[in-house]
Amino acid sequence: MPTIPSPADSARHAVGCIQPVLLRGRVDHIDGATGELLHRYTTVHEPGGVLPVACKTRRASRCPPCAEVYSADTYQLIRAGLTGGKGIPDIVATHPCVFTTLTAPSFGPVHLCREKDGRLLRCRPRRRAQTCPHGRRMSCPDRHARDDTRLGEPLCPDCYDYTGSVLFNACAPELWRRFTITLRRTLARRAGMTNKALAAQLRVSYAKVAEYQRRGVVHFHAIIRLDGPAGPTTAPPAWATVDFLTAAIAQAANAVQLQTPAAAGLPARTLTWGSEHDARPITTAGELTDTRVAAYVAKYATKAAECTGTLDRRITPADQLAELPVREHVRRLIAACLRLGNLPGLEDLRLAAWAHMLGFRGHFSTKSRRYSTTFIALRAERAQHQRETATMDSLWPTPDDDTTLVFAHWRFAGRGHTPTTPSSEASARPGIPSPGPTEGDQP
């Protein structure tokens, strides 16, 4: 029985991956009618006896090549929801659709990069600035460029509300969930309908992405679209305009709130969105185009908290807080997570486990069911393409008909590169340590 060179030649794209998953096993093609073994692929003949498969992480800090693929898929997925394509009808482009940003409230003044007409403005010029109880003036006359290391640093770290900041991060996903519910109810009320009557005419679809601000708090960018009752294939009623949607978003964002759990020495707090939320229509031409929005979301989809200068891994009991290679502001945020994580009453927020994420434990990008196509569909399309290419190269046999049965037996054999993996990365960087679990990721 000849060995087919590589079934998972479709897995050859793991070549670019810097932390591939190593699999050991085989794939058998069996004739369903006769039971004859048509082809067998086994990893025995692969270098090191294992098959490297791409890690498929979305995080650029962990594997840039795989994050690139994820980013490209995100772009396709977001764009299809705006203009159609990938199985989404083109008519979706005519549906009311806005790009909205929901920010966190202030937890104390921080250094800011402020620009107007391409010119840098002063950070916080205050002629009669107050002095805080720690003797620090609450003003800053400097002009901070975008790469200034002071951006996001509090004017007074001792006044800054670190507790509020990490509680907000921990509760932000729930605040978003309540926002989506409130938005549907607000739309119904503004239309003079019951929620049920609205749902029979209108469906709200969205895709959102979380972004860490320099001050270490998350905010959300979201595409929100109105469809007819069956999703993108059906038109919403004529009265459901962009203005109607924009007004409802503002009302819902102002109305939504949640109470944090009370803990010993820490009374419950009411969390809301910051006052600076906006919603702008997405158009095919002009400032906020579909391609721009899709590129923007795709960019943030591959980033996480590390952009604020925190750690890209969980914090363990062995870590000395004072020795972590992080900014002082981030160290205080992590300290707040560890401190609050121990308080009875706050267990559900799991702040200690998510201290490296500054309290946020949600998904970085989420979408409603009918927003667009799915990552699974996009990956299947790519895999199909790779199979077809491989078939042409006669590397991967085409099952003649659907009576061919395919049995795969795979076992996890480790992570990283085998010394002989055909990758320049591998030869240049042998023994790359395997990273921790990719928590917070979603497919």
Instruction: Show Cβ contacts of residue 196 under 8 Å, excluding neighbours closer than 6 positions.
Output: none
> Based on CB atoms, which residue is closest to Zn ion, 21 or 248?
21
Q: Does 11 bind Zn ion (CB under 5 A)?
A: no
Alpha helix positions (H), 256-374: 290-301, 328-341
Q: Looking up tokens 């093609």, which residue turns up?
A: 29
Q: Does 353 bind Zn ion (CB under 5 A)?
A: no
Closest separation in Å from C-beta 126 to Zn ion? 11
Tell me the two tokens of residue 323: 């020795």
> Based on CB atoms, which residue is closest to Zn ion, 119 or 134?
134
Q: If we measure between CA atoms, which residue out of 254, 276, 253, 199 comes closest to residue 230?
A: 199
In the set 78, 140, 298, 333, which binds Zn ion (CB under 5 A)?
140
Q: What letter would DSSP give residue 154?
A: B
Closest separation in Å from C-beta 2 to Zn ion? 31
Residues that contact Zn ion, how many (by CB under 5 A): 14
The total of other beta-carbon atoms located within 10 Å of residue 264's CB is 8
DSSP 167-234: HHHHHHHHHHHHHHHHHHHHHHHHTT--HHHHHTT-EEEEEEEEEE-TTS-EEEEEEEEEEBTTBTTS
Tell me the two tokens of residue 369: 């069911």
> Based on CB atoms, which residue is closest to Zn ion, 153 or 290?
153
> Based on CB atoms, which residue is closest to Zn ion, 140 or 253?
140
Q: Can you state the angle between helices 290-301 and 64-83, rounded to 10 degrees?
A: 150
Q: If we measure between CA atoms, which residue out of 427, 409, 440, 390 comes closest to residue 23?
A: 409
- Of residues 281 through 340, those in contact with Zn ion by CB under 5 A are none
Instruction: Calculate the CA 187 to chain-centre distance.
Output: 27
Binding mask 36-55 for Zn ion (x = CB under 5 A): ------------------xx
Instruction: Show Cβ contacts of residue 323 under 8 Å, excluding neighbours closer than 6 positions.
Output: none
Q: Does 266 bind Zn ion (CB under 5 A)?
A: no
Q: If we measure between CA atoms, which residue out of 277, 232, 298, 301 comes closest to residue 99?
A: 277
Closest separation in Å from C-beta 155 to Zn ion? 7
Residue range at the interface with Zn ion (CB under 5 A); choices 151-159, 167-175, 218-226, 328-336:
151-159
Closest separation in Å from C-beta 333 to Zn ion? 17
In the set 15, 129, 156, 193, which binds Zn ion (CB under 5 A)?
156
Q: Looking up tokens 């993108």, which residue turns up?
A: 232
Closest separation in Å from C-beta 416 to Zn ion? 11
Q: Does 66 bind Zn ion (CB under 5 A)?
A: yes
> Is the separation of the CB atoms in 63 and 17 below 8 Å?
yes
Closest separation in Å from C-beta 129 to Zn ion? 12
Q: Looking up tokens 């937890």, which residue turns up?
A: 107
> Based on CB atoms, which residue is closest to Zn ion, 131 or 194?
131
Residue range at the interface with Zn ion (CB under 5 A); choices 24-32, 63-71, 246-254, 384-392:
63-71
> Based on CB atoms, which residue is closest to Zn ion, 110 or 326?
110
Binding mask 157-196 for Zn ion (x = CB under 5 A): -xx-------------------------------------
Closest separation in Å from C-beta 344 to Zn ion? 29
Closest separation in Å from C-beta 109 to Zn ion? 9
Closest separation in Å from C-beta 62 to Zn ion? 7
DSSP 372-420: S--HHHHHHHHHHHHHHHHHHTTSSPPPSSTTEEEEEEEEEEEES--TT
Give the separation between CA 354 and CA 292, rounded to whole angstroms: 32
- Of residues 99 through 138, those in contact with Zn ion by CB under 5 A are 111, 123, 132, 134
> Based on CB atoms, which residue is closest to Zn ion, 2 or 433?
433
Residue range at the interface with Zn ion (CB under 5 A); choices 45-53, 153-161, 326-334, 372-380:
153-161
Tell me the two tokens of residue 247: 């007004």
> Based on CB atoms, which residue is closest to Zn ion, 67 or 98?
67
Closest separation in Å from C-beta 258 to Zn ion? 28
> Based on CB atoms, which residue is closest to Zn ion, 54 or 170?
54
Q: Does 210 bind Zn ion (CB under 5 A)?
A: no
The total of other beta-carbon atoms located within 10 Å of residue 14's CB is 25
Residue type for 443, please?
P
In the set 4, 8, 22, 63, which binds Zn ion (CB under 5 A)?
63
Binding site for Zn ion (CB under 5 A): 17, 54-55, 63, 66, 111, 123, 132, 134, 140, 142, 156, 158-159
